[in-house]
Amino acid sequence: MFAGRSAELAALRAARERASAGEPAAVLVAGEAGGGKTRLVTEFTRDLRALTGACLELGVAGCCWW
């Protein structure tokens, strides 16, 4: 079960809704290693058909985009 990230998941879903409506939308998921970034995005993309992304190191924190 996925818990503890309802606000972040809601923000991702809201950005997707804006993009689906034709509005510009971008989301940056950043944080320390082991902070749950990949798990959050995995949960968000579970029902999506196509989404691409990558992670890159920015100093001491990594960031991922999809």
Q: What is the pLDDT of residues 16-25, one digit of tens each?
A: 899 889 988 7
What whole-number distance in Å separates Cα of residue 53 and Cα of residue 61?
17
pTM > 0.95:
no
At residue 46 the predicted structure's pLDDT band, cuts being 50, 70 and 90, is: confident
Q: Provide CB contacts within 8 A for 27, sequence distance 6+.
A: 11, 12, 15, 65
Distances (CA, A) of 35 to 5, 16, 20: 11, 22, 28
DSSP state of 59: T
CB 8 within 8 A of CB 40: yes
Q: What is the pLDDT of residues 52-64, one digit of tens each?
A: 566 666 665 555 6
